[in-house]
A and B are shown apart, each in its own frame.
Chain A
Amino acid sequence: MNLKILIPLFIATPGVLFLALSIVWLLGGCVTERTMARITKSAYAVLALLVIMTGWRMRVDGLHSVRVMLGDWFTVGHYGYPLSLLIDRLSLLMVGLTVVLAGIVGFFSVRYLHRDPGFHRFFMLLHLFTFGALLVFTADSLDLLIVGWETVAITSVLLVGFFQYRPEPVRNALWVFASYRVADLFMLLAIFLAHHWFGTTSWEGLFSGEWPGCQSQMQGAEGTVIAVLLVIAAGGKSSQGLFCGWLPRAMEGPTPSSAVFYGAISIHAGAYLLLRIEPLIHQSWIATGLIIITGLATAFLGTLVHRTCADAKASLAYAAQTQIGLIFIEIGFGWTTFAVIHLVSHATLRTLQFLRAPSMLRDYHRVHAASGGKVSPTGSLYESLLPPALQLWLYRLALGRGFYDAIVERWIVAPIQAVARWLAVFEPQSPQKQPAANTPAHPAESTVS
């Protein structure tokens, strides 16, 4: 099959599936679990086949990158919104990783979510997520990338709040949503500025040559500004730097969605973006420095907090954050190949660990028994080199999760709320506040009937 057909086809497959499923759902129809399982399994099998065919085709044709122009979505003046896809070695790898890991998680979830009221919703979102992720990795321009980027974000948020009948998942989903939105501002700004200064956001226009080893076309301070903005935006997606606090909160969803988002794909999308714009970063010492400092700080904080986490999922979340910090550092130092290997390795390992998180009890007991009842103590390697007072202080820092939540709540959320409350003066009729406590938790229980 022609690559010009293959590439759009495998991106469109999950998107079309999502659309079809949501139309059925909106029309009040219902797809049985069995059908959904068949659809999902065959969809991922087909996707895998298509990706393999693409890779094989490119190899046979000796191509390192393929651009597919689908024309413009719209044109205004001399700006056209390009629908252009790019498959090169980096994209193909990420696409392959997405299809394999999301497919495995899809297979897993067919069993895991059996009989859950949200079964249909989960798979709809999984297909939408796959679509978004594939779009991120194949987009040929920032304009198109952000579409996928936002799709991944919204599915991520909806799956964090999957158990929507309990308040905590919804609260934490909101937290994740807000973090994403703030980070997205930086990306939007970068896109605007790129258009303003360079007239384009397509990879072709911004970089010359093929990845890796392409050259940046953006020079000078403008290039630096865009690079810095994109590094911050990537940090938002990968829970790095300023946005390092949301990852553990995202553990509210069902286990497989934690695996595919925060172990496998979504969390690495930031690193992908950085790999993509690597030449841009390296021509500016500010951006390079920023990415290394971001990675270093997050990795250090991540590993510190991970050390004190007593629950399986938050512990994994901080461990993932640590490794992605290291991947950022690798990208900063320009060790591109190593960073890519690290990324793929880390994604597969973390997916397995997330999926097996409920096994931790059994695993630990087995190791304990096999080692003769004496598990080697941990936490006395580097820590013992520090003075006790500092140890205690670091423990406190870790237990407070780097004070991230406290800082955000006290000095960002609270002032914004205060301003909002003050602005409410201008509301003509503020609706009567109904405190939640007014409704009894179990109305059915009232004996006055």
Chain B
Amino acid sequence: MSIRTHASPCGLHDSWQETQPAEGRLEHLRRVVDHAAHSLPIQGPLGVFVHYNTLRSLQHRRFEDAVTEGGRLFKAEPFLSEEAYQTERSRRRILDEDIDAVLSREPDADILPGRLRRRELRRVMLAPGMRRVNGINISWQLEEGGWLDSFRNDLPEPSATALRRDSPSALWDACRVRVKPRPAPPPVMPKRPRDVVLVQHGIDMDALIHPPLIRLTGAYLDQGIAYWPMPHRDKGLLQAARKIMPQVFAIFPAHLSGVRAEFLRQDAANMDADTVVLEALEQLDVPLGQWEEFVTEELLALRGWAGMIRMLEVDVTLAPHDRVRCSLMEFLALRLTYTVAALKDISGDTVAWRTTLLPVPRFDSLTHVARVFDVVQLLGISSSELGTFTDEELAWLDQEILACHETERRRLLHLAYERRHERRVLIPLARHRAMPQIVPSSNRLIAQVVFCIDEREESIRRALEEVDPSIETVGVAGFFGVAINNASMDDADGVSLCPVVIKPAHSVREVAVGGDAHLHEQRQGMRRVWAMVARNSFISSRTLVRGWISTACLGFLSLFPLVLRVLTPLAYGRFIKQLNRAFLPEPKTEFAFMRDDAASRDATTGLMSGFTTQELAECVYEVLGPAGLHKGHARLVVILGHGSTSLNNPYESAYCCQACGGRTGAPNARLFALIANRPAVREALRAKGVVIPEDTWFLGGYHDTCNEDINFFDVDLLPDTHHADLARIHQSLDKARTLNAHERARRFAAAGHDITPESSLRHVQERAEHIGEPRPEYGHCTNAVTFVGRREITKGLFMDRRAFLASYDATKDPTNEALAQVVGAALPVCYSINLDYYFSAVDNDVYGSGTKLPHNITGLVGVMNGYQSDLRTGLPAQAVEIHEPVRMLFVVETTPERLMSVIKADSELNEIVCNQWIRIATMDPDDGHVEVYRDGVFEKLEGNEEPLPVASSSLAWYRGKMEHLALARIDPRAA
């Protein structure tokens, strides 16, 4: 949707520096702000949570460079910590052969001719690895850490032998004599006035100016929390602030009194935001060439708020209720006005900060010596041998040790970490394919159940097939080919139900069927009454006069929901449902989705109301065609959309269907079934080569991934002949969801190891109804793999809810048309989810939103930490705590040539794949050999070291284990 325009690589990346002198200052400023805006978070208001590649602005660079660059820009961690990888190594999640393999792909060189090569050096620096040196107080560390008492006890055998005659203190002395200490890094130029003021005056300017900025911006963007909307909002943020802030007798916080006069002056001169910023840049003496860096730094200081302003500026429809005019330039103008005023007040002038050098952080010049000391131990170089090195040789060694700095080591360890993951998936997958199918396919299937490709559906698909082997499951992107703007019966406005990269062209509306119109009226009437009561009790519990009466007289009534919700969440949830059922009549509804007039378009939204038969057939074909469902469908085909409901959870939407833009896919599933049942559509499909048998019936349904509810739509339309089929599939799904709940519960410590499947179902239902539950479900926390191919390949394979499974039959797709469709739909969704989790997991404080516990919803657009803070973007700690941050391993059942032809045709996919933001592999449709994409070429997967364990059932394989599990073959005969 709009995101493309906002974050697409702009021409500035390479050209702005050359063009700047030619253009005017104003144009240049606008370009600079536009460019700086790319570094801001791209998360919209929290009501809908859409996953994005957090570093989308750096997507034009290779993954490994981009994370390092992002780390520098955002002061964030690029990878997990070195200790974390070493822990993984000690529990054999990373093997030494992985490190060797990774190093063998890096350029090698002779360091000490005949004695040491770069690979050998790096090998010991990664395994057993370096000890952490704190860089501040080396001699203390040496003594306290016992570095001089004995050599490391994890030295490789030859090194330990070589050092047997040597003593640590002798070696340390030799290092001190031979190795030149590194000079302290030079003082740096300040990036913002704040840096200088903090050093010179001990005052944190951000702590001064952020509270008013947060309050102003929060009130400005507010969508309905504040009782009293901000006055003058229609004039824009800057104007509104100017009108409000300089009131007579207004008292400004310390050092900010100058803001008043400044606002009055700006107002009198009627300055617009551009002028204010230009003037501030001049006052602060920022030269033209450094505008970009300065503006970026200033915006990043409050990046959550700035990002939200930017998002709403680019697409005003993202605002959930009140559309306010946003402008990043105005936000910047406001910020700089405050900055200049504070700087004037504190240090008296606004220019001196530019020429002040920041003092060097505390630095122990022995740091480097200590690292060399560690390395020579690992290499087994004794003190006497060190003495024989020439100065030149030592300089080489020095260089190499410096080049393999911490970030570099973490990068290499990360690659090794990913490599082991890759082998633990691909080798067993290939083995499983080579083995005979566990259940030979019968004549005709009882039913086919179409799920979303979502990795959370992997387990229920497996469970369903285990429960009833004559059911086949299919995975397609959860909007089921129908990209719609849907207004459900209870919604006032329509919402888009499709991946965010697609702009829906058709609108549909859920309406009550003719006979039930009066019920619909009744229902909406009741809901309006409820809304009025809810709204009024919300307001009147907080205000003065109404609050006096309502809290004093009615407040104690809240004891009932309070006690019951917390003590018996499940029963209370049922009670509420009963109440709803009793008071809210449920009319029978249908979709208004047919369009007769070929081109009727809504004038304001540009949406076409409904579809023509031809368009409908196209939608159905997009799903059935790529999945290879051309003919021989089962008597009953169930389409299960998915979503998630939980209470007291601002991130509820993050658990919903990402292929539906962070919403539930139920309407899509229901609509798809209705469409596919239409004779005219089937007629049109026949012309495309999809032949649906006369006796096949499509049935829409909904799966709640949090409480495991499954229900069906339009059951009354089902022909009598199919009721037996429905009963059977209903029973199987019921068993499957219980097993699924049990498999999910293995990750929840609160559920306990010995929980039965039945109580685990109750447990997950309770999670959904519990207001104190920060983890109603684990969401996409386990995502790691995508498999695009036939279900036969993965059937009977335990993939631990870690694999997105998209159905695609390469044998029926000679033109690659279907491949382009499947990959085009699945890859952007999967990689966005994966990278959002990656970044939130490697640095939860910067890229993620930190722990959920103090989160404070603000303005209905986002959350702050506690009292007031920047808007937090990304995923909370509770959502990523069991995540393994690896890039998505995207396996497609096709040939490398076919895959790359599809990927090369789409510039966005090409960028993602070529810059390795995703790991790609193919599995040959004919012989099943696997090829892995590495640095631009596909290489055949060699080696056979990972086993494929066999278990009699999924339950037998996972029972009693909480950690990520290896792939296993589930063969009921294995018992």
User: Which residues of A are in contact with B by a Cβ distance under 8 Å?
Assistant: 33, 100, 104, 107-116, 162-163, 166, 168-169, 172, 248-256, 299-300, 302-303, 306-316, 319, 322-323, 326, 338, 341-342, 344-353, 355-379, 383, 391-393, 395-400, 403, 405-407, 409-410, 414, 433, 435-449
Contact = CB atoms under 8 A, between A and B. Distances in A.
A308 B219 contact: yes
Interface in B522-552: 524, 527-528, 530-532, 534-535, 538-539, 541-544, 547-548, 551-552
A316 B712 CA distance: 41
6 contacts: A248-B867, A306-B542, A310-B221, A348-B559, A361-B47, A362-B652
A438 B361 contact: yes
A355 B198 CA distance: 38
B202 A371 contact: no
B228 interface: yes
Nearest to B542: A319
B667 interface: no
Contacts of A33: 749
B251 A406 contact: yes
Nearest to A309: B226
A370 B648 contact: no
Given A370-B531, A399-B215, A442-B75, A355 B854 contact: no
A405 B253 contact: yes
B573 to A, nearest CB: 14
Contact of A445 (B75, B649, B750): B75
Among B72, B535, B865, which residue has the most Cβ atoms of chain A within 10 A? B535
A410 B254 CA distance: 6
Given A253-B854, A345-B554, A445-B72, A379 B544 contact: no
A253 B855 CA distance: 9
Contact of A358 (B547, B556, B649): B649
Contact of B771 (A108, A299, A438): A108
Contact of B492 (A300, A373, A447): A373
B338 to A, nearest CB: 14
Interface string B748-782: 01100000000000000000001111110000000
B535 A358 contact: no
A433 B228 contact: no
B229 A379 contact: yes
Contacts of A440: 361
A438 B652 CA distance: 41
Given A114-B749, A399-B215, A449-B371, A307 B227 contact: yes
Given A315-B225, A319-B547, A439 B362 contact: yes
A319 B869 CA distance: 21
B244 A311 contact: no
B407 A447 contact: yes
Contacts of A439: 361-362
Contacts of A326: 544, 547-548, 552
Contacts of B859: 310-311
B774 A114 contact: yes
B243 A163 contact: no
Contacts of B358: 437
Nearest to A409: B254
Given A163-B865, A341-B552, A449-B371, 4 more contacts: A108-B566, A310-B226, A326-B552, A352-B562
A109 B967 CA distance: 36
A433 to B, nearest CB: 7
B469 interface: no
Contacts of B362: 438-439
Nearest to A362: B652
A311 B864 contact: yes
Contact of A322 (B528, B547, B566, B865): B547
Contact of A252 (B229, B528, B866): B866
B204 to A, nearest CB: 8
Contact of B860 (A114, A250, A364, A405): A364
Given A114-B749, A253-B866, A352-B561, A414 B860 contact: no
Interface of B: 46-47, 71-72, 75-77, 81, 134-135, 182, 185, 195, 198-199, 202, 204, 211, 215-216, 218-219, 221-231, 243-245, 247-254, 320-321, 358-359, 361-362, 371, 402, 405-407, 490-493, 524, 527-528, 530-532, 534-535, 538-539, 541-544, 547-548, 551-556, 558-559, 561-563, 566-567, 647-650, 652, 749-750, 770-775, 851, 853-860, 864-869, 878, 881
Of the candidates A251, A253, A255, A376, the one having the most CB atoms from chain B within 10 angstroms of its own CB is A255
A56 B218 CA distance: 51
Given A172-B866, A348-B559, A365-B320, A393 B854 contact: no
A108 B771 CA distance: 8
Contacts of B229: 377-379
A111 B254 contact: no
A367 B531 CA distance: 5
Contacts of B216: 399
Given A108-B771, A169-B866, A311 B225 contact: yes
A330 to B, nearest CB: 9
Given A254-B853, A308-B219, A396 B544 contact: no
A107 B567 contact: yes
A82 to B, nearest CB: 35
Contacts of A433: 202
B563 A104 contact: yes
A172 B867 contact: yes
A435 B534 CA distance: 51
B206 to A, nearest CB: 11
B356 to A, nearest CB: 12
Given A166-B865, A364-B224, A348 B558 contact: yes
Contacts of A107: 566-567, 772
B854 A252 contact: yes
Given A108-B771, A168-B867, A310 B218 contact: yes
Given A309-B225, A364-B224, A365-B47, A104 B566 contact: yes
Contact of B857 (A302, A360, A407): A360
A374 to B, nearest CB: 8
A83 to B, nearest CB: 33
B750 A114 contact: yes
Contacts of A409: 253-254
Contacts of B72: 445
Given A344-B556, A355-B771, A437-B358, A372 B222 contact: no
B647 to A, nearest CB: 7
A255 B854 contact: yes
Contacts of B406: 444, 446-447, 449
A316 B406 CA distance: 46
Contact of A396 (B227, B245, B567, B771): B245
Contacts of A363: 534, 538
A338 B854 CA distance: 34
A303 to B, nearest CB: 4
B558 A349 contact: yes
A252 B867 contact: yes
B857 A353 contact: no
B219 A342 contact: no
Given A303-B544, A447-B407, A310 B551 contact: no
